[in-house]
Copies of this chain bind each other. A is one copy, B any other.
Amino acid sequence: MNIKQEIENIAKGALAASRVLANLPSATKDGVLKDMAAVLLSNKADILKANRKDIAASRNKGKAFIDRLTLNEARIKQMADVLLDLVKLKDPVGELIRGWDTSNGLRIHKVRSAIGVVAIIYESRPNVTADCVGLCLKSGNSVILRGGSESLNSNLAIYNALNSVIQKYALPCAAINLIKTREHKAVDVLLKLNNYIDLLIPRGGEELIKKVVRSSSIPVIKHYKGICHVYVDEWADLNMAEKICFNAKVQRPGVCNAMESMLVHRDVAIRFLPGMFKKFREAGVEIRGCALTRKIAKWAKRATEKDYRTEYLDLILSVKVVEDLEEAIAHINNYGSHHSDSIVTDNYDQALKFLRQVDSACVYQNASTRFSDGNQFGMGAEIGISTDKLHARGPMALEELTTYKYMVFGSGQVRQ
């Protein structure tokens, strides 16, 4: 069998399985999730052994890569805990979103339902395998996973453990699917299977996402870059601003909800920036500033147009002193990536204007952008953070993995 047929068969099976999963009772799904958590722990030795194989083959890939790839007892425990957390969350399928009567006596129910088949293309972190299986199962969808080829052994070990539970419960074996070939062609084939797959979620670098968007005939929800801002307003509590900006930039610079650009109102720049920059420099943050910033910090590099559009994912920060709130909002809407942006202010009107007018998935007053995360938002796990506006925006979890249908109850009504 060639790859095209192989992938197509997986997708066909996933579609058939999705019909069963869509109407599975919550108790069954929760039973499966609990058993999956248990089986991850009892298969710990096999999973760690497979993971060591992947690590050995990736030795020359750099420290950050190896860190993302590496599993240990604690991380396997975390994977199991995510599945147990999902058990506690409400089943989204079947929820009555709204119900009403029409003038001719029809009763209309807008009911949450599973999407069908969800495909996820991701990179090196093996925990994504278990998280996505759990989220898709609880939301009644079948799932097709295509992980990074460097983590294939780890993913296979995790998948085999989880799939044994699917078998134990006599669910369709194509309920959860892992693409087992390393061949790149597998992805090209997958992207064209819009007859079987309802939703495609690419998680990874900009290049991967651009490629998927360009070639996919399946609807895609993008998890694009995060060019996040904190704007320090003239009415800011400057101590609070310093803590928030420091946290947003330094606590974990390599993730999408970290701050990449700091905007400061001109009236507080001279009081705020010197102390803030001292802290940043102690933490090894490189500053790239506008002309006004560089009047205060002569040592700082000059920020170019390109800097303001760059997701550094590193200890680098672009800084701009702005005239007023309006300039800050316009700058964020123009240069940002509509992900997460925060204003530090004690002025009610300024805050409301910022929250309304900044066109981003998550807008904050007096908090770090680092909270843009499904778990922090109380959604359990997350399948990613959408930078799109359609279907789902911001952290995506169970509810975002559903659609709805209209159930209409009549008594013989016909249209006039």
Chain A residues in the interface with B (C-beta under 8 A): 19, 22-23, 100, 102, 106, 108, 115-116, 198-199, 213, 217, 219, 221, 237, 240, 243-244, 246-248, 251-252, 333, 355-357, 359-368, 370-372, 376-378, 388-391, 393-394, 403-415
Contact = CB atoms under 8 A, between A and B. Distances in A.
Nearest to A115: B389
26 contacts: A19-B333, A19-B357, A22-B357, A23-B356, A115-B390, A219-B219, A219-B390, A221-B390, A251-B414, A361-B405, A363-B407, A364-B409, A365-B407, A365-B408, A366-B410, A367-B408, A367-B409, A367-B411, A368-B414, A370-B414, A370-B415, A371-B408, A376-B415, A389-B403, A390-B403, A394-B405
Contacts of A405: 359-363, 393-394
Contact of A415 (B355, B368, B391): B368
B363 A406 contact: yes
A366 B406 contact: no
A168 to B, nearest CB: 24
Nearest to A372: B406
Given A115-B390, A243-B412, A366-B411, 5 more contacts: A244-B412, A247-B415, A366-B412, A368-B415, A393-B403
Contacts of A411: 366-367
A411 B236 CA distance: 11
Contacts of A414: 243-244, 246-248, 251, 367-368, 370
A366 B409 contact: yes
A388 B404 CA distance: 11
Contacts of A370: 414-415
Copies of this chain, whole number:
2
Contacts of A362: 405-406, 408
B365 A409 contact: yes
A108 B356 CA distance: 14
Residue from the set A360, A368, A409, A413 with the largest chain B CB neighbour count within 10 Å: A413
B22 A359 contact: yes
Contact of A389 (B108, B116, B366, B368): B116
A34 to B, nearest CB: 24
Given A106-B367, A359-B19, A389-B403, A412 B240 contact: yes
A116 B359 contact: yes
A19 B330 CA distance: 10
A199 to B, nearest CB: 6
B23 A357 contact: yes
A363 B412 contact: no
Question: Which residue among A106, A248, A394 has the maximum number of chain B CB atoms within 10 Å of its CB?
Answer: A106
A371 B376 CA distance: 42
Nearest to A412: B240
A248 B116 CA distance: 28
Nearest to A248: B414
A103 B68 CA distance: 28
Nearest to A221: B390
Contact of A406 (B198, B333, B390, B394): B394
Given A23-B356, A116-B389, A412 B367 contact: yes
Of the listed residues A243, A248, A407, the one surrounded by the most CB atoms of chain B closer than 10 A to its CB is: A407
Given A23-B356, A389-B115, A390-B198, A410 B365 contact: yes
A39 to B, nearest CB: 30
A376 B246 CA distance: 54
Nearest to A377: B108
B408 A364 contact: yes
Contacts of A251: 414-415
Contacts of A213: 217
A298 B414 CA distance: 29
Nearest to A352: B407
Given A363-B407, A407-B355, A414-B368, A199 B377 contact: no
